[in-house]
Amino acid sequence: MSRIAIAAAFVSAALAAAPLRAAEAWGIEHEKTVVITGRVVDLVCALKGDCPPDCGAGKRQLGLVTPEGQLRAMVKGPVEFAGPVRDLLPFCGKSVQIDGLIIENPAITLVMIQNLRGKTDQPYEWAGAFSKDWEARNGKADEWFRADPLVKEVIGADGVYGIKGLVPPPLAPAAAK
Protein backbone atom coordinates (compact mmCIF):
# COMPACT_ATOMS: atom_id res chain seq x y z
CA MET A 1 0.00 0.00 0.00
CA SER A 2 1.42 3.40 -0.92
CA ARG A 3 2.11 6.10 1.66
CA ILE A 4 -0.60 8.30 0.16
CA ALA A 5 -3.18 5.51 0.47
CA ILE A 6 -2.15 4.88 4.08
CA ALA A 7 -2.38 8.60 4.89
CA ALA A 8 -5.79 8.86 3.21
CA ALA A 9 -7.06 5.83 5.16
CA PHE A 10 -5.76 7.34 8.42
CA VAL A 11 -7.45 10.71 7.75
CA SER A 12 -10.71 8.99 6.75
CA ALA A 13 -10.69 6.89 9.92
CA ALA A 14 -9.96 9.94 12.08
CA LEU A 15 -12.78 11.92 10.50
CA ALA A 16 -15.22 9.03 10.86
CA ALA A 17 -14.37 8.67 14.55
CA ALA A 18 -14.56 12.40 15.31
CA PRO A 19 -17.93 13.83 16.35
CA LEU A 20 -18.58 16.27 13.54
CA ARG A 21 -19.97 19.59 14.66
CA ALA A 22 -21.48 21.73 12.02
CA ALA A 23 -22.90 24.66 14.04
CA GLU A 24 -22.01 27.99 12.53
CA ALA A 25 -21.45 31.03 14.74
CA TRP A 26 -23.72 34.02 13.99
CA GLY A 27 -21.73 36.68 15.85
CA ILE A 28 -24.33 37.27 18.59
CA GLU A 29 -23.11 38.55 21.94
CA HIS A 30 -22.72 35.74 24.52
CA GLU A 31 -23.16 32.98 21.90
CA LYS A 32 -21.31 29.67 22.05
CA THR A 33 -21.52 26.64 19.80
CA VAL A 34 -22.99 23.73 21.71
CA VAL A 35 -24.02 20.10 21.42
CA ILE A 36 -26.89 19.16 23.74
CA THR A 37 -28.39 15.71 24.20
CA GLY A 38 -31.77 15.35 25.83
CA ARG A 39 -35.34 14.10 25.72
CA VAL A 40 -37.73 16.21 23.62
CA VAL A 41 -40.57 17.64 25.73
CA ASP A 42 -43.48 20.04 25.41
CA LEU A 43 -42.39 23.05 27.50
CA VAL A 44 -45.88 23.76 28.88
CA CYS A 45 -46.16 20.11 29.88
CA ALA A 46 -42.75 20.17 31.59
CA LEU A 47 -43.48 23.42 33.43
CA LYS A 48 -47.23 23.24 34.18
CA GLY A 49 -48.28 19.60 33.76
CA ASP A 50 -50.66 20.41 30.87
CA CYS A 51 -49.66 17.52 28.60
CA PRO A 52 -51.58 16.90 25.36
CA PRO A 53 -50.59 13.84 23.32
CA ASP A 54 -47.69 14.08 20.87
CA CYS A 55 -46.14 17.19 22.47
CA GLY A 56 -49.07 19.30 21.33
CA ALA A 57 -48.97 18.10 17.70
CA GLY A 58 -46.82 21.02 16.55
CA LYS A 59 -48.82 23.78 18.24
CA ARG A 60 -46.53 24.12 21.28
CA GLN A 61 -42.97 25.22 21.92
CA LEU A 62 -40.60 22.30 22.52
CA GLY A 63 -37.44 21.85 24.52
CA LEU A 64 -34.97 19.28 25.80
CA VAL A 65 -34.51 17.81 29.24
CA THR A 66 -30.84 16.86 29.60
CA PRO A 67 -29.69 13.73 31.46
CA GLU A 68 -28.81 16.08 34.35
CA GLY A 69 -32.45 17.21 34.51
CA GLN A 70 -31.88 20.67 33.02
CA LEU A 71 -34.74 22.00 30.86
CA ARG A 72 -33.55 23.86 27.76
CA ALA A 73 -36.01 25.76 25.56
CA MET A 74 -35.33 25.33 21.85
CA VAL A 75 -36.39 28.67 20.41
CA LYS A 76 -34.98 28.97 16.92
CA GLY A 77 -34.13 26.87 13.90
CA PRO A 78 -31.83 27.77 11.01
CA VAL A 79 -34.68 29.11 8.83
CA GLU A 80 -35.31 32.88 9.19
CA PHE A 81 -38.24 33.66 11.51
CA ALA A 82 -39.03 29.98 12.07
CA GLY A 83 -38.74 27.82 15.16
CA PRO A 84 -37.50 24.24 15.46
CA VAL A 85 -40.80 22.58 16.43
CA ARG A 86 -41.25 20.78 13.09
CA ASP A 87 -37.74 19.26 13.40
CA LEU A 88 -38.14 18.18 17.03
CA LEU A 89 -41.73 16.89 16.88
CA PRO A 90 -40.85 13.43 15.47
CA PHE A 91 -38.63 12.95 18.55
CA CYS A 92 -41.35 13.78 21.12
CA GLY A 93 -40.50 11.86 24.30
CA LYS A 94 -37.30 10.49 22.74
CA SER A 95 -33.66 11.38 23.01
CA VAL A 96 -32.08 13.64 20.40
CA GLN A 97 -28.78 15.43 20.02
CA ILE A 98 -28.76 18.98 18.72
CA ASP A 99 -25.86 20.99 17.36
CA GLY A 100 -26.34 24.72 17.47
CA LEU A 101 -25.81 27.90 19.42
CA ILE A 102 -26.55 28.78 23.00
CA ILE A 103 -26.81 32.35 24.16
CA GLU A 104 -26.48 32.69 27.90
CA ASN A 105 -26.73 36.10 29.50
CA PRO A 106 -28.19 37.32 32.79
CA ALA A 107 -31.64 37.92 31.28
CA ILE A 108 -32.31 34.67 29.39
CA THR A 109 -30.81 31.53 27.89
CA LEU A 110 -31.71 30.71 24.28
CA VAL A 111 -30.84 27.62 22.25
CA MET A 112 -30.89 27.81 18.48
CA ILE A 113 -30.79 24.47 16.66
CA GLN A 114 -28.88 24.22 13.42
CA ASN A 115 -28.56 20.41 13.10
CA LEU A 116 -29.88 17.37 14.92
CA ARG A 117 -29.71 13.59 15.05
CA GLY A 118 -31.61 10.84 16.81
CA LYS A 119 -28.53 8.75 17.64
CA THR A 120 -24.95 9.80 18.22
CA ASP A 121 -23.67 7.32 15.63
CA GLN A 122 -25.83 8.93 12.91
CA PRO A 123 -24.80 11.99 10.89
CA TYR A 124 -26.38 15.32 11.75
CA GLU A 125 -29.30 16.50 9.60
CA TRP A 126 -29.99 20.16 8.88
CA ALA A 127 -32.89 21.40 11.01
CA GLY A 128 -34.80 22.89 8.10
CA ALA A 129 -38.03 20.89 8.13
CA PHE A 130 -40.07 24.11 8.34
CA SER A 131 -38.62 25.26 5.02
CA LYS A 132 -39.29 21.93 3.29
CA ASP A 133 -42.89 21.83 4.55
CA TRP A 134 -43.52 25.46 3.62
CA GLU A 135 -42.18 24.94 0.07
CA ALA A 136 -44.34 21.82 -0.36
CA ARG A 137 -47.44 23.89 0.52
CA ASN A 138 -46.58 27.20 -1.17
CA GLY A 139 -43.81 26.69 -3.73
CA LYS A 140 -40.29 28.10 -3.79
CA ALA A 141 -39.64 31.65 -2.59
CA ASP A 142 -36.45 33.58 -1.83
CA GLU A 143 -37.92 34.82 1.46
CA TRP A 144 -40.78 32.61 2.66
CA PHE A 145 -42.05 35.23 5.13
CA ARG A 146 -42.66 37.77 2.34
CA ALA A 147 -44.55 35.26 0.19
CA ASP A 148 -46.55 33.48 2.89
CA PRO A 149 -50.34 33.85 2.41
CA LEU A 150 -51.07 33.94 6.16
CA VAL A 151 -48.38 36.59 6.79
CA LYS A 152 -49.84 38.69 3.96
CA GLU A 153 -53.34 38.27 5.40
CA VAL A 154 -52.27 39.34 8.91
CA ILE A 155 -50.33 42.34 7.58
CA GLY A 156 -53.32 43.28 5.40
CA ALA A 157 -55.60 43.20 8.44
CA ASP A 158 -53.32 44.63 11.13
CA GLY A 159 -50.57 46.49 9.26
CA VAL A 160 -46.80 45.90 9.22
CA TYR A 161 -46.47 46.77 12.92
CA GLY A 162 -49.34 44.53 14.01
CA ILE A 163 -51.44 47.53 15.08
CA LYS A 164 -54.32 48.52 12.83
CA GLY A 165 -53.84 52.07 11.53
CA LEU A 166 -50.16 52.40 12.53
CA VAL A 167 -48.18 52.98 9.36
CA PRO A 168 -44.44 53.34 8.80
CA PRO A 169 -43.15 56.85 8.21
CA PRO A 170 -42.66 57.80 4.55
CA LEU A 171 -39.19 57.21 3.17
CA ALA A 172 -37.08 60.32 2.70
CA PRO A 173 -36.47 61.16 -0.97
CA ALA A 174 -33.02 60.25 -2.25
CA ALA A 175 -30.56 63.14 -2.08
CA ALA A 176 -30.04 64.92 -5.40
CA LYS A 177 -26.61 64.43 -6.91
Do 24 and 95 belong together in one domain? yes
Residue 146: inside a domain, yes or no?
yes
Do 114 and 152 belong together in one domain? no
Domain tally, the chain: 2
Do 133 and 96 belong together in one domain? no
Do 111 and 148 belong together in one domain? no
**Residue 32 belongs to what domain range?**
20-126
Q: Provide the residue-wise pLDDT of the chain in tens; the chain has 177 residues.
A: 555 544 444 444 444 444 455 788 888 888 899 999 999 999 999 999 999 989 999 999 999 999 999 999 998 888 888 889 999 999 999 999 999 999 888 788 889 999 999 998 999 999 999 999 999 999 999 999 999 999 999 999 998 888 888 888 888 877 555
Please tell me the distance from the alpha carbon of residue 155 to that of residue 150, in angstroms, as a whole number: 9
24 sits in which H/E element: none
Do 122 and 136 belong together in one domain? no
pLDDT at position 24 is 81
Do 31 and 90 belong together in one domain? yes
Residue 137 class from Cβ within 10 Å (0-12 exposed, 13-18 middle, 19+ buried)?
exposed
Do 103 and 153 belong together in one domain? no
pLDDT at position 117 is 95
